[in-house]
Structure 1
Amino acid sequence: MRSPEGRQKEISDLVLERGSLSAQELATLFDVSVMTIHRDLDELERQGFVRKYRGGVTALPSGVFESNVAYRQKAMRAEKEAIAKHALQYVEPGMSIMLDDATTAAKMIPHLAGFTPLRVATNYLEGMRQLSQIREVALMALGGDYEPLHDSFLGETCLECIESIRVDAVFMSTSALSGQYSFHQEDRIVAVKRKMLEVAARRYLLVDHSKLGKVALRRLVSLSEFDLVIVDSGAPEHALAELARRDVAYELAS
């Protein structure tokens, strides 16, 4: 018989795989009552793994809620890999670069060994672990209050860490692009991304095509603040035409 903790782990894995499920579907799959499932979902929501809605649960993002990092790591993998590899052409040995806690920017990390020596700053905990294993990469950890939902450090201390340095380039992503603006769901994330943009000489926005033509609760910055937007080749023509119409510099990663 499954323990509540074991069942909750299986529920979390299943929701991350499928995106959304109803409470009734989960009750049937795990042969427990709907009330038991709701208790499980309350705990998983408290931990930040999933988000409840009327009658079910989801790991999908919305205009108000960001997906947790485990879901984002699984989403649009091939597109993120292509974007990250394209971005590497703007990295040179001897540079100082900054990566945010986006899973797209994180795809650059395994390839940075070919561009050393580098100084790399990030607030993404898993990124710190990976970077610490690469020879001739000087890691700068941007600390603060740890946020499990994003596996990253946020808050005033993180902002102060960022403000204290200057870097040659920042590579970041965000949740949505629409019109001339970029957006994100959370004000804490917006604050960190804006501060990163302030301290970077060059600014690169890495976004897969699923984020184009969408908005989220918080406006981040105008797309004109970025030197370049890199998007995968799955981007629809109308979205690219909109970027061109607004004089946003972009490149397609194949």
Structure 2
Amino acid sequence: MTEQHNGRGGRVRSPEERQRQITDVVAERGSISAQELAAMFGVSVMTVHRDLDELERQGVVRKFRGGVTAQPSGVFESNVAYRQKAMREQKRAIARQAVRHVEPGTSIMLDDATTTAQMIPFLAELTPLRVATNYLEAMRQLSQIKGIGLMALGGDYDPLHDSFLGTTCLECIDALRVDAVFVSTSALSGKYAYHQEDRIVAVKRKMLEVAAKRYLLMDHSKLGKVALHKLVPLSAFDLVIVDAGAPAEVLADLERNNVAYEVAS
């Protein structure tokens, strides 16, 4: 097979390898045109579109006229590689605020959100703790912290979210009762939180059912937006934590709807 240069000093030996590298580029940039990708990888625009069709079929990227994006829409959630890079400082500030509501000697649950995962480094100062999660990367990090008892919520592994989902995961969650759960989601507007995928909605709802206290962590890029599925009313949460970039009109809406919130500095 003829090797092709990818434009960055490497070689692409198969469509699969090229698609992996396209995924990395889109996750890094957020959005890019098909023409730019064709020039970068030394292939035709038609070849790039075939690659993008396959990546879109897998749910990795979202095509638009003339290009591709990893950014979310009302029906498309960004893959975990993109979400790990987006709004990092804001997520860290929110996480730092959230851990103020964690007491040593308690049990907590974290969903598979990259926002809640930012809490993990701070949890090391609050041990002993029992922490349950379905997010594989969070499991790796938590397993390295002395004083944290890790409870892994298993099920069907989903590589796009790097987490476990499905019926088995729901049964694992249902077998537990925790002092607090910390979740994030894709959108918040009016009186409701939203998400694009019904299987994710099912897991988050079950997590909320088994917790005595419920916290919603949201960076400002998700505020004032909706997605395909209503998750729960905001009244289901004891507290919503946002970052300092939250629009004033969104905060006013929260106040109007009697939703308790904190702004992380």
**Do both share a fold (TM > 0.5)?**
yes
Q: Distance in 1 between matches of 2:184 and 2:17?
A: 34
How many corresponding residue pairs?
Answer: 254
Q: 1:98 aligns with which of 109, 112, 133?
A: 109
Q: CA deviation at 1:7?
A: 2.9
Equivalent in the alignment of 1:148: 159
Deviation by residue 1:159-200 (Cα, 9 ceiling, x = unmatched): 000001100000000000011000000000000000000000
Consecutive unaligned residues in structure 2, runs of 5 or more:
5-11
Provide the rounded CA distance (Å) in 1 between the counterparts of 2:124 and 2:29.
Answer: 34
Report the counterpart of residue 30 of structure 1 in structure 2: 41
Residue number in structure 2 paired with 1:239: 250
The TM-score with structure 1 as length reference comes to 0.96
For 1:12 and 1:147, locate their aligned partners in 2 and report how far apart those are by CA, in whole Å.
Answer: 16
Correspondence list, 1:90-129, <5 A:
90-129=101-140
The letter for the 1-side match of 2:216 is L
- 1:52-110 Cα deviation digits (max 9, x unpaired): 33432110100001000000000000000000000011111100000000000000011
Q: Does 1:133 align with 2:150?
A: no
Q: Which moved more, 1:189-198 or 1:12-21?
A: 12-21
Matched residue SS, 1:240: helix
Supply the distance in 1 between the matched residues of 2:58 and 2:213 (Cα, whole angstroms).
Answer: 36
Contact 1:48–1:148 (CA under 8 A) maintained in structure 2? no
Moved more, 197-206 or 10-19: 10-19
Q: What is the rounded CA distance, in whole Å, between the counterparts of 2:63 and 2:159 in structure 1?
A: 18
Q: 1:190 aligns with which of 189, 198, 201?
A: 201
TM-score by length of 2: 0.92
In structure 2, C-alpha distance between the alignment counterparts of 1:205 and 1:89, rounded to whole Å:
14
1:28-107 equivalence runs, <5 A: 28-107=39-118
Compare 56-65 and 35-44 and name the one that shifted more. 35-44
Question: Which residue in the other structure is 1:249 paired with?
Answer: 260
In the alignment, the residues of structure 2 paired with residue 57 and residue 87 of structure 1 have an alpha-carbon distance, to the nearest angstrom, of: 34
Map of 2:191 onto structure 1: 180
Given residue 153 of structure 1, which amino acid in structure 2 is its aligned partner?
F
- 1:97-126 C-alpha deviation (Å, 9 max, x unpaired): 000000000000112111111000000011
Tell me which amino acid in the other structure corresponds to 2:132. A
Displaced runs of 4 or more, over 4 A: none
Report the residue type matching 1:7 in the other structure. R
Cα offset, 1:8, TM superposition: 2.6
2:212 aligned with 1:227 = no
Corresponding residue for residue 26 of structure 2: 15
Take 1:229 and 1:36, find their aligned partners in 2: how far apart are those partners? Answer: 45
Q: CA deviation at 1:18?
A: 1.6
Q: Choose the corresponding residue for 1:3, options 10, 13, 23.
A: 13
Instruction: Output the aligned Cα RMSD.
Output: 1.2
Cα deviation, 1:186-219, whole Å, max 9, x if unaligned, reads 0000000000000000000000011111000000
CA distance in 2, matches of 1:51, 1:34: 17
SS of residue paired to 1:149? coil
Contact 1:123 1:143 in 2 (8 A): yes
Looking at structure 2, the residues matched to 3 and 50 of structure 1 have their Cα atoms a distance apart, in angstroms, of 22
Which residue, 202, 213, 217 being the options, matches 2:228?
217
Aligned residue identity for 1:62 = S
| 1:203 equivalenced with 2:208 (yes/no) | no
> Displacement, 1:46?
4.2
